Amino acid sequence: MTNAHPNYTEDQVKLDPYTLPLAAINVANPYLFAHDAHWPWFKRLREEAPVHYCAESFFGPYWSVTRYDDIMTVDTSHDVYSSEPAIVIRDPQEDLPLPMFIAMDRPKHDEQRKVVAPVAGPENLRNFEPVIRARTIDVLEHLPLGETFNWVDRVSIELTTRMLATLFDFPFEDRSKLTYWSDISTAIPGMGLIDSEEQRKEILHQCLAYFTGLWNQRVNAPPGNDLVSMLAHGEATRNMGPQEYLGNLVLLIVGGNDTTRNTMSASVLNLANNPEQYRKLVARQELIPSMVAETIRWQTPLAHMRRTAKFDTELGGQQIKAGDKVIMWYVSGNRDEAVFERPDEFIIDRPNVRKHLSFGFGIHRCMGNRLAELQLRVLWEEILKRFERIEVVGEPERTLSSFVHGYTSLSTIVHPRTG
């Protein structure tokens, strides 16, 4: 983290949030997340200012909603809080409009979601499970044993990229392009991957050109079960313009990629850091689904979702004005002491483990939640069959973002079963 971005300051990481006046608190600084230093900032807001106004930030003024119940209110009050024009704290780029159904209100949102929802529906999930298992086994069997390697690259990215290629029926040999386009979509200009918005635009247009080729093939073929075919044949999507096609592609690429990837890495990290929980899992493998849910709570792979107030309204005693940005910090709601006992601990058999906010609630609730859980469950079933344990070496490197909450590197050593 040496190349500080001119618009953010890394210095905030060293501050004690309790020494600042409440009005000076800005929790959206990506460096807080890259250093895993955001927790006490959110704790203070939950305790003292659960609906908090930050008047000045790189992203403009915004409200932070940090308690579980208030987040639930915002997420389920679609008539008051809009998903337009964006669901992230950062405003959309005027020269790169990317309409996508996650950032639309009713009725258009519902119509477009309906077109693609079956991709992660029960029938597809049943068909996917053997494919996911075979790929998981393939990736695990090719890991170097007893040597240090980066779990993020070798396992988390590899498995989620293969899954994405299947969802789109994307040429398998080109699948690394999907990961690349996903990373480009969420990158901060000037921080390594891209230098400018102009460059992002250029690369995403290459993505659009590639996918237009796939659309042209599929639109003239009978409807299939993959996302491109669904979009090309769906009543609510078949007449989309190119920008809207690109916007929905970005949603479907990013939605299923970083989130599941970072959950996979987090599960390895947490089970290595909590040996008593790992022993419990080995002894009671029926706890795998519950462990997966706890990982999704603990990690909160998307730190926030944003809404924009449609009217003047009141929340937690605060007066919110029409047009104000309202940030639901899921990452904080999932650590709310009022809902989760010992919230900072990783407890794989929590009684209310499924209550987490990580998939959101309401009409935008994650469309791929069952698919993500399936991939995680199969991964751990296959890990426990063949490895004694996975050791984590040193500290992970974390994503520089206040939206994607994850890891760029996790050094691990896999120990095979003996005997």
Q: Of 315 and 372, which CB lies nearer to ligand HEM in the complex structure?
A: 372
Counting contacts by CB under 6 A, is residue 362 touching ligand HEM?
Answer: yes
Structure tokens at 393: 């070496």
Count CB-CB contacts under 10 A for residue 110: 13
Do the beta carbons of residue 92 and residue 112 sit within 8 Å? Answer: no
Counting contacts by CB under 6 A, is residue 372 touching ligand HEM?
Answer: yes
Counting contacts by CB under 6 A, is residue 251 touching ligand HEM?
Answer: yes
Beta bridge partners of 261: none
Which positions from 66 through 125 interact with ligand HEM, judged by CB under 6 A?
Answer: 75, 101-102, 113, 120
Q: Of 102 and 414, which CB lies nearer to ligand HEM in the complex structure?
A: 102
**CA–CA separation, 208 and 237 (whole Å):** 15
Counting contacts by CB under 6 A, is residue 267 touching ligand HEM?
Answer: no
Residue 53 beta carbon to ligand HEM: minimum distance, rounded to whole angstroms: 22
Which positions from 115 through 134 interact with ligand HEM, judged by CB under 6 A?
Answer: 120
Do the beta carbons of residue 402 and residue 33 sit within 8 Å? Answer: yes
Residue 120 beta carbon to ligand HEM: minimum distance, rounded to whole angstroms: 5
Counting contacts by CB under 6 A, is residue 256 touching ligand HEM?
Answer: yes
Q: Of 158 and 194, which CB lies nearer to ligand HEM in the complex structure?
A: 158
Counting contacts by CB under 6 A, is residue 302 touching ligand HEM?
Answer: yes
CA 50 remoteness from chain centre: 23
**Tokens 């996975």 sit on residue:** 390
Counting contacts by CB under 6 A, is residue 165 touching ligand HEM?
Answer: no
Which of 359, 380, 403, 407 is the binder for ligand HEM (CB under 6 A)? 359
Residue 306 beta carbon to ligand HEM: minimum distance, rounded to whole angstroms: 9
Of 383, 341, 159, the closest CA to residue 256 belongs to 159
- Phi first, then psi: give them for residue 392, nearest 5 degrees: -100, 130
Sign of the dihedral defined by the CA atoms of residues 47, 52, 56, 60, in that order: positive
Q: Of 255 and 343, which CB lies nearer to ligand HEM in the complex structure?
A: 255
Do the beta carbons of residue 404 and residue 302 sit within 8 Å? Answer: yes
Q: What is the largest CA-CA distance in the chain?
A: 67
Residues that bind ligand HEM (CB under 6 A): 75, 101-102, 113, 120, 251-252, 255-256, 259-260, 263, 296, 301-302, 305, 358-362, 364-368, 371-372
